[in-house]
Structure 1
Amino acid sequence: MSFDTVRVGIVGAGNRGQQHASEYERVDSAEIAAVADIDEEAATALAREHGTERVYTDYREMLDDAAIDAISVCVHNNLHAPVSIDALEAGKHVFCEKPMAGSYADARRMSEAAKTNNRQLGVQNVRLFEPETTAAERLISRGKLGDIAYARSVFNRRRGRPYIDGYGTPSFVHDRTAGGGAVFDIGTYVIGRMLLLLGNPSVERVTGQTWNFTDDQLSEEMVGDNADTYHSRLDETDYSLEDCGVGTVRLEDGTRLDVHTAWHTYAPDEPEYVAGSTGSVQLDPFEFRTTIDDYEATVDLDIENYEARHGLLESETGYDIGERLNQFDHWIQTLCGAVDPVPTGEIALRSMLIMEGIYLSEKAGRELSAEEVAERSESTAMEP
């Protein structure tokens, strides 16, 4: 099945729904056809902003609309699975916000529903479509790194707890709606990118540990005159999720992946990289390290101009830049049959296994096999 124009229904008119709608507006082959949200006023405002009068307060009624081809799921993490599965079973293609779900068990049910109903399931991960990722893929696929042995994924913020530090809503840091903290929220980006670069190999074993430093860091000595505000936000959210999580993953091909992800920690900034027998690639800032004629070489690649040049060579208009710079455009073009899909859903599912493996390993106090993680994962899905 392919489309000339994909008519998209947005489920969730909050921040993420507004972002998705804005992105689809820039895609020629996409049309925002409807918006669903329990807040009718918010749904109506978003729908009218993007040129449609179709508004639903129950997303299930939107799924009955034959004019809708695909659904963007922009609700809380623990609602991703029930909404996505309902949409897939209704014959709609689904693009879901990250993380894929609130648990690996729920993510696996989503993946199975997509296969059973022969529908595309995409999951948001902007890192998969960045120029640095494309450049690293090219070097790896051309053998410039030799045999890959090790990778490190890092997303570290010194001060960036959702809501507690002033942005986002309380739902970001409430276990009932989010399912997890920093590991789920931002770890999914960098773990997914490394899995893409490594060829998305199967997971053999996971070990991990998490911390919540927030209670110890809200003294007047640490935060000064803002202590009352911080404590008020902390009490309001029942903040019990991790600020920081680390893990080590042994993949079935023998590769090791290290993970460091934090909303709030004083660890120094560390680069992400993939290392092999003949070279390594660092993602930010982008550098290629190798040996040339027995000279150790660190190469700074001009990836921006490379993307622009290839856009000129490969585009009909001469002004499209790069191959995969916009994930929403890629998703729509996938449904139109114009490009081969980046397997964002498969990568997100394996990322969920690793991320929940970090949590479950912490709980068990030991390393867990992939099979143990799958067996111990439980649904956290909310009733829509």
Structure 2
Amino acid sequence: MDEVTIGVIGAGNRGETHSEAYAEVPGATVAAVADVDEDAAQRLAERYDVPEVYADFRAMLDDSGVDAVDVCVHNNLHRPMAVAAFEAGKHVFCEKPLAGSYADAKAIADAAEAAGKHLGVQNETLLAPETRGAKTFVDEGNLGEISYARSVYSRRRGRPYVDGYGTPAFVSKESAGGGPVIDIGTYEIGRMLYLLDNPDVERVNGKTFEFYRDSYDESLVGPNTDVYEDRLEDSGFDVEDAGTGAARLADGTRLEIRAAWHMYQSDERGAVVGSTGGIELDPLEFHTTTNDYETTARIDVDEYETRQGRLASERGYTADRPTQFDHWIETVRGDVEPIPTGDIALNSMLVMEGIYLSDELGREVSADEVVDNSESRSVDL
């Protein structure tokens, strides 16, 4: 397959971002856009010279000229659209998280397997230079026997819509399934699972927090208290502001997690730690002992990427264009060994829903309990 033709479902912010990215990927062509808001779909099509516009995504799935579908809608719409695309014989790339619940994510993964098609899930961190560098240290055994990993994606003031950007759909269980745990937590949980070779999840504990749901303290928030209160009320905000937890993995590793849109805590960095060394990310540093001296080495990922870019030829891994969209197109074409983003996203969903279930039950939960208790949040179309 020399050229991969893509149909984008969703003409909003994500649909535009993905269409713009594909415009820079050799061998990729956005051939169609579908959205119930046909005017929005038409505007996106005109901006990126897309020839076909559909008001119904099902009509686009009937288009034999579309090889792969990119699902760029809210979380609880992912399952019906992705499953229908697989049943139509298309490959599927899906915005993060894979779905709004584990049950829906598993249904998507099962549909991909039944169709024998590729499932890709958006996670820009997996092909970041720091991640590739960290993966090298893990794979080469520089860390020894790994025992601990830390996943952190935390903001002090960054709730969608309420704090001034994004749409209310991000803060509604009806459309999103959850708050920061699955919105931004999915990035770093996925990255840590990838660095650990995506081991099975055994048990999860967690707690979520809701700050300033009913009122604001002007001394903390500032002079725009009324504005924030109004946006909070208008949005129908019914998800968490922050979540923390930990997962016990089948390889013996403990994975600690913090994901927050709104939590007054200093930043921490993702980490993977073993018996002979540890790494922290962004920037990438290696911690060990040398001649009995405690040693911290800053890893020059930029120089490494430049040198590898001169030597390598595989797109999706080279320094000149190491993006998830290149990797996805190369995966569909069969030109690279794919990163199993679908498997990682499904395992991430198990951890994230485990945090919610643990909070609800007030105790640690097993992976089997998460699976058994997970219910579909999918929107019927």
Displacement of 1:342 after TM fit? Answer: 0.3
Find the residue that maps to 2:189 and give its secondary structure.
Answer: helix
- Count of aligned positions: 380
Displacement of 1:321 after TM fit? Answer: 4.5
- The equivalent residue for 1:280 is 278
Superposed, which structure 2 residues align to 1:1-384 within 5 Å? 3-215=1-213, 218-315=216-313, 321-322=318-319, 325-384=322-381
- Name the Cα RMSD after superposition: 1.4
CA distance in 1, matches of 2:320, 2:368: 36
Contact persistence 1:330–1:341 (CA under 8 A)? yes
Runs of 4+ aligned structure 1 residues displaced above 4 Å come to: none
CA distance in 1, matches of 2:320, 2:116: 26
164 and 316 in structure 1: CA distance in 2 versus 1, 3 angstrom threshold: closer
CA distance in 1, matches of 2:359, 2:170: 21
Q: 1:262-283 CA deviation, whole Å, 9 max, x = no partner? A: 0000012112100000000000
Specify every segment of 5 or more residues in structure 1 that has no aligned partner in the other structure, as ranges: none
Aligned-pair identity in percent equals 56
Find the residue that maps to 1:199 and give its secondary structure.
Answer: coil
CA distance in 2, matches of 1:31, 1:316: 20
* Further displaced range: 46-55 or 18-27: 46-55
Contact persistence 1:324–1:330 (CA under 8 A)? no
Contact persistence 2:159–2:261 (CA under 8 A)? yes
CA distance in 1, matches of 2:203, 2:352: 12
How does the TM-score come out when normalised to structure 2?
Answer: 0.97
Displacement of 1:43 after TM fit? Answer: 0.2
Displacement of 1:307 after TM fit? Answer: 0.6
Find the residue that maps to 1:215 and give its secondary structure.
Answer: coil
Find the residue that maps to 2:222 and give its secondary structure.
Answer: helix
Contact persistence 1:214–1:243 (CA under 8 A)? no
CA distance in 2, matches of 1:217, 1:195: 37
Specify every segment of 5 or more residues in structure 2 that has no aligned partner in the other structure, as ranges: none
CA distance in 2, matches of 1:216, 1:379: 29
How does the TM-score come out when normalised to structure 1?
Answer: 0.97
Displacement of 1:316 after TM fit? Answer: 8.7
* Further displaced range: 148-157 or 226-235: 226-235
Q: 1:80-123 CA deviation, whole Å, 9 max, x = no partner? A: 11100000110000000001000000000000000001010000
CA distance in 1, matches of 2:251, 2:155: 31
The one-letter amino acid of 2:300's match is: D
Contact persistence 2:314–2:336 (CA under 8 A)? no
CA distance in 2, matches of 1:18, 1:290: 44
216 and 295 in structure 1: CA distance in 2 versus 1, 3 angstrom threshold: farther
CA distance in 2, matches of 1:337, 1:8: 16
Displacement of 1:27 after TM fit? Answer: 0.4
CA distance in 1, matches of 2:321, 2:349: 23
Contact persistence 1:151–1:273 (CA under 8 A)? yes
CA distance in 2, matches of 1:321, 1:234: 44
Contact persistence 2:100–2:378 (CA under 8 A)? yes
CA distance in 1, matches of 2:154, 2:321: 25
Displacement of 1:48 after TM fit? Answer: 1.6
CA distance in 1, matches of 2:101, 2:284: 33
* Further displaced range: 345-354 or 333-342: 333-342
Find the residue that maps to 1:225 and give its secondary structure.
Answer: coil
Displacement of 1:14 after TM fit? Answer: 0.0
CA distance in 1, matches of 2:380, 2:234: 23
CA distance in 2, matches of 1:43, 1:134: 36
The one-letter amino acid of 1:148's match is: I
